[in-house]
Amino acid sequence: MLLGENSILETHYDVLSVKEDASYEEIRTSYRSAILNYHPDKLQKKSETANPDHELRERFLKVQRAWEILSNSNSRAIYDSELRASRQDTVVADDISLEDMTVEDTGEAMELFYQCRCGDYFFVDSLELGKMGYSLLRDGNKILLQKLDASPASVVLPCGSCSLKVRVLINSDIILSIDDHL
């Protein structure tokens, strides 16, 4: 449903181009815009002689299905629960906490890494964490990591060389020390 064997598939939130914490109004507005863009009657007018493209019809059906699920608070709650569960089901070699990771300040960004069994590293930097909704703040030799919505979460990181992955468990407001000797 949500996860393929090796890749993440598009969620209903992705289909409607909204964030997972979007309000009903935001979802409705995005749905209305998308449904107008992909409606078969509109597509037929654009191309009088040819049938509308199969991919555009499929997109229309995806938009419809996403709206059916996300517009109803009960079905949305079930969907969100399944989405969270599917993300937790990712096969990982180990669960680690941020405190287990080494932090290095490169000037441009702060890097967090953890050594893999193969000798390479699991790695994420502050720029990538920022895109995921986390903020890294430096105070002397200490780093404060904050998640903007303040709920516990996790991030799965792949190794730089092998196929292993780790799940980094993130609790809000964690303080880390910078490793100055690296």
More confident residue, 12 or 156: 12
Residue 169 has pLDDT above 50, yes or no: yes
129 falls in which pLDDT band (50, 70, 90)?
confident
pLDDT of residue 114: 92
pTM: 0.47
Going through the chain in order, the beta strands assigned E by DSSP cover 94-97, 102-105, 110-115, 121-125, 134-139, 142-147, 153-158, 165-170, 174-177
Highest mean pLDDT among 16-20, 37-41, 174-178: 16-20
**Rounded to 10 degrees, what is the CA torsion of 171, 175, 181, 182?**
30
pLDDT tens, 80-102?
A: 888 877 766 667 778 888 788 88
